[in-house]
């Protein structure tokens, strides 16, 4: 069903290391959000990354491939289900922790997008990604849009949670 | 024509879902919707791309109507089922009958899609879809119960 990699080489090890690093960082951060909010953030990040990558990488678009096979393989699933959620969580965590406002929000998103592009560029050289019709510049607006959606989702959840009495002030880290 | 028909059904269903009064917390609906989208998307990718048991013509209009089906229609019906059967006390028979009705609707959409040449079964059996939907509904119910308890602990319900 999910093919195994042709060989456990550098791209698989990088994914495993990135997963450990991401989860390690997310778990080491002091608890800031209510658990419900954390779960929703994890699931939102997973869903948006998963859906977007499936749309872009699968036929009829087929813009790029991941890892060793053109099929959906085990390490693709690990990539989506294990790696993306903690990264989205850390993105929102730091945004909330530093209480960013105004132009700093844009700068913050630009920095994350640049980091994303750099990691993707490294991923291309480490044979995690193979572009067929995609190019790295196209990823930049995608990262920006996803970050906007993630922050909009976070604010909506905070607002609705406060309105329904689920938590009083999620922007100041009540947990 | 068939594509327009599917879109009309999806839009009517979404409007009906939004308008009807619900007992589920919005976070429960969002949580279930996102999880079901992920499950559906990954399952469909495995069946279509890896196993090649279902073929979808590589046309953009067909792709999007099928995507709307698995990302809007299926999760929405499953969430409605949870809303109807698990937000207040219902008998086992009531839940069972509604589960069968839901599975029938989900499989009927697939069969209608094949009839209108929006997808082709190349080795896939419709009763396998029924089994996979039964599993997905069970997962949705379990996840709903877990998340409902979680929200209850934090004081919303």
Q: Report the residue of chain B nearest A52, measured CA to CA.
A: B41
pLDDT higher than threshold 70 for residue A175: no
Tell which of A57, A164, A170 to mutate to test the B interface (max B CBs under 10 Å).
A164
Average pLDDT, integer, range A65-90: 89
Closest CA to B110 of B81, B139, B77, B83: B77
pLDDT tens digits, one per residue of B45-94: 999 999 999 998 888 999 999 999 999 999 999 999 999 999 888 899 99
Share of chain A above pLDDT 90, in %: 57
Tell me what the mean pLDDT of segment A48-76 comes to.
88
Q: What does DSSP assign to residue A131? A: E
Residue A174 above 80 pLDDT?
no
pLDDT at A52: 92
Which residues sit opposite A131 in a β-bridge? A64
Query: Residue B156 above 60 pLDDT?
Result: no
Which two structure tokens, joined as six digits, stand for B144?
């709903």
- Choose, out of B154, B155, B157, the residue to mutate when testing the contact with A (most A CBs < 10 Å): B154
pLDDT reading at A173 higher than 50: no
* Average pLDDT, integer, range A66-80: 86
Q: Residue A9 pLDDT > 70, yes or no?
A: yes
Distance from CA of B29 to the nearest CA of A (A): 11
CB contact under 8 A, B42 and A35: no
| Chain A residues closer than 8 Å to B51 by CB | 1
pLDDT of residue A168: 64
Report CA-CA distances (Å) from B117 to A16, A55, B45, B49, B126: 42, 21, 19, 18, 15
For residue A127, the model assigns a pLDDT of 84
Mean pLDDT of chain B: 92
Residues with Cβ < 8 Å from A12, sequence gap 6 or more? Answer: A5, A67, A75
Q: What is the pLDDT of residue B155?
A: 65
Residue A19: per-residue pLDDT: 93
What pairs with residue B120 in β-bridges?
B55
* Distances A51 to A87, A103, A167 between C-alpha atoms, Å: 16, 30, 30
Residues of A in contact with B35 (CB under 8 A): 43, 47
How much is the average pLDDT of B123-137?
94
Nearest residue in B to A41, CA atom: B31
Integer Cα distance of A115 and A110 in angstroms: 9
pLDDT at A170: 60
Within a 10 A sphere around the Cβ of B137, how many other Cβ atoms?
21
* pLDDT reported for residue A133: 87
> How far is A61 from A46, CA to CA, in rounded Å?
21
Range(s) of the domain holding residue B118: 2-153
* Contacts (Cβ under 8 Å, ≥6 apart) of A164: B25, B26, B156
The ipTM of this complex is 0.92
Contact flag B30-A40 (C-beta cutoff 8 Å): yes
The shortest C-alpha distance from A103 to chain B (Å) reads 30
**Measured between CA atoms, how close is A150 to chain B, in angstroms?**
14
Q: How many structural domains comprise chain B?
A: 1
Tokens, residue B4: 């327009």
């Amino acid at each position: 069903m999910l093919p195994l990699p042709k060989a456990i080489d550098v791209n698989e090890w990088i994914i495993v290391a990135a997963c450990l690093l991401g989860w390690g960082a997310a778990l080491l951060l002091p608890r800031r959000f209510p658990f419900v909010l954390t779960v929703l953030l994890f699931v939102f990040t997973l869903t948006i990354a998963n859906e977007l990558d499936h749309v872009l990488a699968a036929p009829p678009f087929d813009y790029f491939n991941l890892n060793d096979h053109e099929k959906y393989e085990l390490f693709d699933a690990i990539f989506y289900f294990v790696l993306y959620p903690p990264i989205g969580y850390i993105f929102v965590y730091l945004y909330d922790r530093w209480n960013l406002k105004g132009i700093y929000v844009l700068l913050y998103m630009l920095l994350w997008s640049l980091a994303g592009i750099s990691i993707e560029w490294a991923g291309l050289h480490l044979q995690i990604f193979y572009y067929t019709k995609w190019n790295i510049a196209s990823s930049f607006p995608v990262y920006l849009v996803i970050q906007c959606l993630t922050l909009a989702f976070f604010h909506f959840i905070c607002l609705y949670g406060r309105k329904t009495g689920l938590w009083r002030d999620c922007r100041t880290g009540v947990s | 024509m068939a594509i327009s028909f599917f879109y009309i059904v999806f839009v009517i269903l979404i409007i009906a879902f939004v308008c009807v009064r619900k007992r589920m917390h919005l976070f429960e609906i969002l949580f279930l919707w996102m999880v079901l989208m992920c499950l559906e998307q990954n399952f469909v990718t495995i069946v279509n791309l890896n196993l090649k048991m279902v073929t979808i013509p590589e046309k953009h209009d067909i792709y999007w109507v099928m995507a709307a089906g698995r990302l809007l229609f299926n999760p929405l019906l499953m969430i409605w089922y949870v809303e109807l059967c698990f937000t207040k006390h219902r008998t086992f028979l009531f839940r069972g009958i509604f589960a069968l009705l839901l599975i029938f609707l989900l499989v009927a959409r697939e069969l209608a899609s094949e009839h209108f040449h929006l997808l082709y079964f190349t080795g896939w059996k419709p009763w396998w879809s029924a089994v996979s939907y039964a599993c997905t509904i069970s997962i949705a119910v379990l996840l709903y119960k877990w998340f409902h308890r979680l929200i209850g602990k934090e004081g919303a319900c």
